[in-house]
Amino acid sequence: MLVSTNWLSNYVDWNELSVEELAEKITRAGIEVDGIIDRSFGMDNIVIGYVNNCVKHPEADKLHICQVDVGGEISQIICGAPNIAEGQHVIVARPGAILPGGMKIKKAKLRGEESNGMICSLQELGIEGKLVPKAYAEGIYVLPNDVRAGDSALTHLGLYDRILEFDLTPNRSDALSMLGVAYEVGAILSKDIKLPEISYSASAEKAQDVLKLSVEATEDNPMYVAKVVKNVKVAESPQWLQNTLMSAGIRPHNNVVDITNYVLMEYGQPLHAFDYDRLETKEIVVRHAREGEKMVTLDQVERTLNDQQLVITNGIEPVALAGVMGGANSEVHEGTTMVVIESAYFAPSSVRQTSKEVGLRSDASTRFEKGVDPNRVAEAAERAAQLMAELAGGEVLDGSVTFDELDKTPQKIILSPDYVNNRLGMKIAMDEMKTIMDRLQIPTDLINGQLVMDIPTRRQDLKIKEDMIEEIARLYGYDEIPKTLPIVESTPGGLTPYQAKRRIVRRYLEAAGLSQALTYSLASPKDAQAFALETAPVTKLLMPMSEERSILRQSIIPHLLDATTYNVARRNESIALYETGSVFLGIEEDGLPKEVEHVAAVLTGKWVHHAWQGESKKVDFFVMKGIVEGLFEQLGLLDRLQFTKATVDQMHPGRTATVWLDDQSVGIIGQVHPTVQKQRDLQETYVMEMNLQAIMQTAIEELLYEAVPRYPSISRDIALVVDRDTTAANLEKIIKQAGGKLLKKVQLFDLYEGKNVEGGTKSVAFSLTYFDPERTLTDEDVVKAHSKVLDALTVQANAQLRS
């Protein structure tokens, strides 16, 4: 909503404040003023000129040499506009003027002819092209002849005006009219407001004698008022009206249409003017359109209607799409002499639906959609009739043709001052509350210590007690509310164990060198299920904005790989990222997808890099595995963790493992398949993804202190030659089983395949640590235990001992 502060002065006297102060007060009271536009743009030296003489430039086809009277002085100005002519009053920017676009007007020579200024279009004065009357859209603006050369053109055009740009919240549709704004400003400033005085002398002829009305769709159209004005002379509107409309962001057309738009902005009540003669039938019938019925709207578009859409008809065919747009067939035109003014209440939902269906949103439809003030419907029609009499020479027929089943009674709200104060944490006296209601012009009685309020229908946002608390608080001033803290039955607060563990996981991964990434949950069909830990039906959007973001992800890895490719392409070649977040699997009983929190990570490039000491190691499987092991250690689950070789789509078949927690598979780890790496422009890249939720929800043993060893431990190393296929995990398992309770630790410390061992075999070395918390071990004890281990390895793993 654009509010001209000049126009506002007609209704409320705010002039003891600066525009900035006014804007600030309005903002603080609840309507945000987004900006202040100075329509003069600080221009100067813009005067009205009279074109005394206008001849073609001898050297240029499109230019004219004009002798312009700029107020007691004749100035030669070259003009290139197609519509320049002798005898016109025009806008002249004199040398020294600076136009809103930044153009500085100087004396100049154009093709050898002197030019002392510029004859301007409205656009050149900073008026948007779409607001300039059509007649002057392509050229200079021509003023009427009742002006005087030398006077300020800006004054004449009403450009010494500042506009408040309102950013209205959806509830404040009352401020979609100048009167609504005036009520608001009046309340803020504690000022009375001046409403328009409506008076005109009506003709003896009665409106109901020339027009018949029937409303068939009474639910969507509970009130319809038609006034008839005859002997109208359609012409350009007076300058002040055109100026006012342009200041409100509306393009002037002709006096009749301009008057309906003026009243729309003044009252917030959309009006429509029909050419009475073009209606042909002397009848208006409001009904729903017939399915497939066609009509051509004012914008010359033929529209096919459906049976939900409300239309105004002449009893035969539609002449307007109710509340949305008029029809071309009944449009007011130059030759119109008799006008029907329509003022109606159309149901908000009906207009919203129609305007959406036909794709038309107008100043009228936005107001109907919010619900217009039922008590202004008739008054607005009278106001328009008055202006047509005053400005278009019309003669208003007596009375109006009306259908009215609309409830116009104000709503009552009863409020106790305690209720207000208890909710605000304040002590506002009842009298002060009453004063605020008076400022808002909400009729209020004090009965039995309560405020009994009749809410005017113009404030449709005020429905419940809490709405009135807001009215009181905002006008009393939010700055006056004290600062306290809530007193609630005390709870300890804090993170749940799950949330605390999530933070541990993040901190651990960061300490391990991975940075946290945050990627989108919506994925492409190609990526949605890639690398997924389990297969489940996907969750698709009904109306995606793009295929790229159309399905909820079932794995985090694809987007982490995208992020990696993005980084690598920008020469960030060593990447270590992790992400925790939900994946979406199948549908639960309640209809929602099963959301499971996962953790995923990606590593590529160098892991150890210390150049000048010649240390540089690329990431490999075991770097990622170490990170996973560390994570399980942090969570107290390391001894329940296992890895088994696995085959996963898009992963390297020889370098991928399933991650097991006890006997539950909780994740995958491994290298991205070389082909996929290539497709994604990546070098050797490792990923892991785990069901974090399952891991974090696993119960762990209580953390209890274990005595620090008092007796020394004894270590023994063994070197074995085993089949190449024998896994380290298998050997370790055999060792642990055979070692008995004295064996405390098994650590693989060497692995060799190659020259010095037979083909198909490998050499593995373990360090075994024996320990008894009760006593110092003897050599004998260790030999006994150790030989069992060696036997077991020989028997169960076909291992050969190396000396």
Angle at 235 between CA 232 and CA 238, to 5 degrees: 110
Q: Which of residues 664-693 bind another protein (CB under 8 A)?
A: none
Nearer to another protein, 489 or 706 (CB): 489
Token pair in block for residue 609 = 């890099």
Point out which span in 126-134, 281-289, 484-492, 762-770 binds another protein (CB under 8 A).
Answer: 484-492
Q: Which residue's CB is nearer to another protein, number 408 or number 594?
A: 594
What does the block give as tokens for 726? 């024998």
Query: Going along 231-351, which residue ranges are E strands?
Result: 271-275, 283-288, 294-296, 302-304, 310-313, 318-321, 325-326, 339-345
12 touching another protein, by CB under 8 A: no
Q: Is residue 491 part of the contact set for another protein (CB under 8 A)?
A: yes
Beta bridge partners of 768: 716, 746
Angstrom distances, CA of residue 118 to CA of 42, 63, 568: 17, 12, 58
Select the residue interacting with another protein from 102, 292, 449, 492 (CB under 8 A). Answer: 492
In contact, 185 and 175? CB cutoff 8 Å: no
H or E element in which residue 516 lies: strand 515-516
Instruction: Give the nearer residue to another protein in terms of CB position, either 1 or 90.
Output: 1
- In angstroms, what is the minimal distance from the CB of 648 to another protein? 23
Q: Which is nearer to another protein, 118 or 469 (CB)?
A: 469
Q: Which of 56, 361, 503, 645 binds another protein (CB under 8 A)?
A: 503
Q: How far is the CB of 510 from another protein (least distance, A)?
A: 4
**Within 13 Å, how many C-alpha atoms sit on residue 706's CB side?**
4
Phi-psi region of 568 (alpha: psi -120 to 50; beta: other; left: phi over 0): alpha
Using rule CB under 8 A, residue 544 touches another protein: yes
Site for another protein in 365-404 (CB under 8 A): 369
- Answer for which of 179, 522, 624, 782 binds another protein (CB under 8 A) is 522
Question: Toward another protein, which CB reaches closer, 300 or 484?
Answer: 484
Asked if 696 and 501 count as a contact pair (C-beta separation under 8 A), the reply is yes
Find the largest Cα–Cα distance for the chain: 132
Q: How far is the CB of 176 from another protein (least distance, A)?
A: 14
Q: Which is nearer to another protein, 96 or 497 (CB)?
A: 497
Residue 380 phi/psi, 5° resolution? -60, -35
231 binds another protein (CB under 8 A): no
Q: Which of residues 17-56 bind another protein (CB under 8 A)?
A: 27-30, 32
| Nearer of residues 144 and 477 to another protein, judged by Cβ | 477
Site track 699-738 with another protein (rule: CB under 8 A), x = hit: ----------------------------------------
Strands (E), 325-422: 325-326, 339-345, 395-396, 401-404, 411-415
Identify whether the C-beta of residue 211 lies closer than 8 Å to the C-beta of residue 381. Answer: no
Minimum gap (Å) between residue 447 Cβ and another protein: 20
692: which residues sit within 8 A by CB, 6+ positions away?
502, 505, 580, 597, 598, 599
**The only residue of 42, 486, 754, 759 in contact with another protein, by rule CB under 8 A:** 486
Q: Give the residue with the Cβ less far from another protein, 335 or 591.
A: 591
CA-wise closest residue to 645 among 674, 662, 669, 676: 669
Does 504 interact with another protein (rule: CB under 8 A)? no
Among 519, 529, 554, 671, binds another protein (CB under 8 A): 519
| Residue type at position 44 | D
For residues 403-432, which are near another protein according to CB under 8 A?
422-426
631 counts as binding another protein under rule CB under 8 A: no
Q: In whole angstroms, how close is the CB of 545 to another protein at the nearest point?
A: 6
Phi, psi of 227 (to 5 degrees): -120, 150
Residue 359 makes contact with another protein by CB under 8 A: no
- Is 102 or 486 the residue whose CB approaches another protein more closely? 486
Site for another protein in 61-90 (CB under 8 A): none
Residues of this chain, 291-350, that bind another protein according to CB under 8 A: 349
Distance of alpha carbon 211 from alpha carbon 330, whole angstroms: 15
Handedness of CA 356, 224, 311, 259 (dihedral sign): negative
Site string for another protein, 437-476 (x = CB under 8 A): ---------------------------xxxx-xx--xx--
Q: Which of 496, 699, 705, 760 binds another protein (CB under 8 A)?
A: 496
Q: Based on the shown chain and the rule CB under 8 A, indicate whether residue 566 belongs to the binding site for another protein.
A: yes
The Cα 473–Cα 468 span in angstroms is: 8
Q: How far is the CB of 583 from another protein (least distance, A)?
A: 11
- DSSP structural state of residue 534: S
Torsion of CA 557, 558, 563, 565, to 10 degrees: 120
Pairwise CA distance, residues 671 & 669, whole Å? 7
**Of 55, 541, 729, 801, which one interacts with another protein (CB under 8 A)?**
541
**CB distance 317 to 278 below 8 Å:** no
578 binds another protein (CB under 8 A): yes
Tokens for 648? Answer: 């996963």
Q: How far is the CB of 489 from another protein (least distance, A)?
A: 5
